[in-house]
């Protein structure tokens, strides 16, 4: 055996010893319970078996950045309309601390027209005419709650389950637990349609205390979503491969001395993946071969929907290619005033009219396209936000942040379509009855991916950590 082979063997063996210690914490549990789990001790991205048969293969996580007011979109409240302009009665503020209520206290409505749609009779405002046609595909959660009322903190909780940096995002947990279904693409991809990172930045797709290899890979908007992916023109393929081989060998030699250095392991994997992605990634995000009809379905023929439509069409193409978790952040518009995202503190009428137009047609198109291709039953779509907006006004024309009761929805495989879970009070301020916190949403998503959130664990600083932190329940009422 050569020195290099011996080093490689020792490196893999040392990595495997650590993996054996963690094998009982991996999906399936126990020592080398499956061939896939055994392979994962050497390759952390190897496909692993779920705890039980999965309902879906991929998740498209649609984050509406800035927090839309679901009182303008889904949560029809006749009493709020009748009481508009009045000071909110104290009975609706019960349990809320005066210092965090915000706003001016006067109940507020915008000029919306409401109708029921589909056999489910789901309420939609006139801001979402295209999505309304997909009403019977959706399962609404109208009693969503969270903690925190500032964007960065609540977005972090939405994605990682915690108010402080350092925990893995939901996509990282899924990639850790299930590995990759396509060795030529990342299993966890982040898409956004802005020139810079979304609110809160990359910490929202971080691997946290998990090995760094499980963090999300951000694809930028535009014709070249992955920077520096193409081989330089003056470097031949053989020359590039020789450089990569030398770099890999040097990294593995160092890795043999520092097997606990997950950043190094992630870097090695990223170089290997990047080489394969030179061929696979451009094809995966290339929309030129999509039909004109498909492009129109996503709104690529209209200026206001083109950018977000391209993002969602790429999400569908990634689903087709086995990417497990696609985190899509709705991007800002180059419009003056308070319209950069859904954060409608001022002139919420104009803000939500703009952003509804941006997302309505592309999301409806995504649902219809997935269904026509036979992919909807194996894909979970989640419309989500960091929080909602208050039923009372702010600045006369807007709404403040509301973590106490707002609407989210799910669609796709394993979901009881055409249903509604939970409700808010008569003015849409607080959830009443059974609620769904972020932890419950994460537990439900993991369940549909074939993972028990209580058994999806990782040993960190002597403690067995899980995605739902300290609590969380699967919302069975949403499951088919």
Stated pTM of the model: 0.85
- CATH assignment at residue 63: 3.40.720.10
Does the structure show a pLDDT above 60 at 167?
yes
Share of the chain above pLDDT 70, in %: 81
Residues 33 and 53 both lie in one domain: no
Residues 219 and 290 both lie in one domain: yes
Residues 19 and 148 both lie in one domain: no
Residues 322 and 458 both lie in one domain: yes
How high is the pLDDT of residue 31? 31
Higher model confidence: residue 143 or residue 23?
A: 143
Q: Which domain holds residue 3?
A: 1-42
Does the structure show a pLDDT above 50 at 6?
no
The total number of structural domains in the chain stands at 2
Distance (Å) of CA 142 to CA 43, 148, 367, 419, 437: 41, 18, 20, 11, 11
Residues 297 and 434 both lie in one domain: yes
Domain assignment present for residue 253? The answer is no
pLDDT one-digit tens code per residue, 445-477: 999 999 999 999 999 999 999 999 888 999 999
Does the structure show a pLDDT above 60 at 201?
yes
How high is the pLDDT of residue 197? 84
Domain assignment present for residue 249? The answer is no
Residues 37 and 145 both lie in one domain: no
**Do residues 450 and 54 make contact, with C-beta atoms less than 8 angstroms apart?**
yes
Residues 154 and 125 both lie in one domain: yes
Residues 143 and 174 both lie in one domain: yes
Residues 35 and 51 both lie in one domain: no
Residues 338 and 387 both lie in one domain: yes
pLDDT one-digit tens code per residue, 63-109: 999 999 999 999 999 999 999 999 999 999 988 876 566 777 899 99
DSSP assigned state of 169: P
Q: What is the mean pLDDT of residues 272-283?
A: 71
The tokens describing 187, both together, are 């299993």
Domain assignment present for residue 269? The answer is no
Strands (E) in 102-260, as ranges, are: 114-117, 122-125, 138-144, 188-192, 217-219
Domain assignment present for residue 117? The answer is yes
Domain assignment present for residue 263? The answer is no
35 confidence band (pLDDT: 50, 70, 90)? very low
Alpha helices of 179-228 — where are they, by DSSP H? none
11 confidence band (pLDDT: 50, 70, 90)? very low
Q: CB within 8 A of 82, min separation 6: which ones?
A: none
429 confidence band (pLDDT: 50, 70, 90)? very high
Domain assignment present for residue 250? The answer is no
Residues 90 and 12 both lie in one domain: no
Alpha helices of 286-408 — where are they, by DSSP H? 292-297, 303-320, 348-372
Question: Mean pLDDT across the chain, nearest whole number?
Answer: 85
Higher model confidence: residue 277 or residue 298?
A: 298
43 confidence band (pLDDT: 50, 70, 90)? confident
Domain assignment present for residue 255? The answer is no
Residues 231 and 314 both lie in one domain: yes
């Amino acid at each position: 055996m050569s020195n290099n082979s011996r080093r490689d063997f020792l490196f893999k063996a040392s990595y495997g010893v650590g993996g054996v210690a963690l094998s009982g914490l991996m999906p399936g549990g126990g020592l080398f319970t499956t061939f896939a789990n055994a392979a994962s001790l050497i390759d952390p991205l190897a496909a692993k078996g779920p705890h039980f048969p999965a309902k879906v293969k991929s998740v498209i996580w649609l984050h509406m950045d800035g927090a839309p007011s679901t009182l303008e979109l889904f949560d029809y409240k006749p009493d709020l309309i009748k009481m508009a302009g009045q000071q909110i009665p104290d009975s609706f503020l019960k349990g809320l601390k005066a210092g965090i209520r915000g706003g001016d206290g006067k109940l507020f409505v915008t000029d919306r027209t409401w109708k029921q749609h589909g056999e489910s009779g789901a309420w939609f405002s006139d801001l979402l005419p295209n999505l309304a046609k997909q009403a019977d595909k959706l399962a609404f959660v109208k009693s969503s709650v969270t903690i925190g009322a500032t964007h960065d903190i609540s977005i972090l909780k939405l994605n990682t389950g915690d108010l402080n940096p350092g925990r893995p995002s939901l996509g990282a947990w899924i990639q850790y637990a299930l590995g990759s279904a396509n060795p030529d693409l990342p299993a966890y991809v982040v898409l956004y349609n802005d020139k810079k990172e979304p609110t809160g930045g990359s910490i929202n797709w971080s691997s946290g205390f998990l090995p760094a290899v499980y963090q999300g890979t951000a694809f930028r908007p535009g014709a070249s979503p992955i920077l520096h992916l193409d081989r330089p023109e003056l470097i031949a393929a053989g020359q590039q491969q020789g450089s990569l081989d030398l770099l890999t060998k040097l990294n593995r030699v160092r890795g043999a001395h520092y097997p606990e250095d997950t950043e190094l392991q992630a870097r090695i994997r990223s170089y290997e993946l990047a080489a394969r992605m030179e061929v696979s990634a451009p094809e995966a995000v290339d929309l030129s071969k999509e039909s004109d009809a498909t492009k129109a379905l996503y709104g690529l023929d209209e200026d206001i929907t083109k950018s977000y439509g391209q993002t969602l069409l790429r999400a569908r193409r990634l689903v087709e290619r086995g990417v497990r978790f696609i985190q899509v952040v709705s991007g800002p518009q180059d419009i003056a005033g308070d319209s950069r995202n859904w954060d409608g503190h001022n002139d919420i009428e104009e803000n939500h009219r703009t952003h509804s137009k941006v997302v309505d047609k592309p999301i409806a198109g995504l649902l219809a396209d997935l269904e026509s291709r036979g992919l909807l039953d194996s894909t979970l779509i989640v419309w989500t936000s960091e929080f909602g907006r208050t039923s009372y006004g702010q600045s006369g024309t807007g709404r403040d942040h509301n973590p106490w009761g707002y609407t989210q929805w799910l669609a796709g495989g394993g979901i009881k379509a055409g249903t509604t879970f939970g409700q808010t009070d008569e003015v849409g301020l607080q959830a009443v009855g059974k609620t769904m916190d972020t932890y419950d949403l994460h537990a439900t998503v993991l369940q549909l991916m074939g993972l028990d959130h209580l058994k999806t664990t990782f040993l960190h600083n002597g403690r067995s950590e899980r995605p739902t932190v300290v609590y969380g329940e699967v919302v069975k009422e949403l499951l088919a």
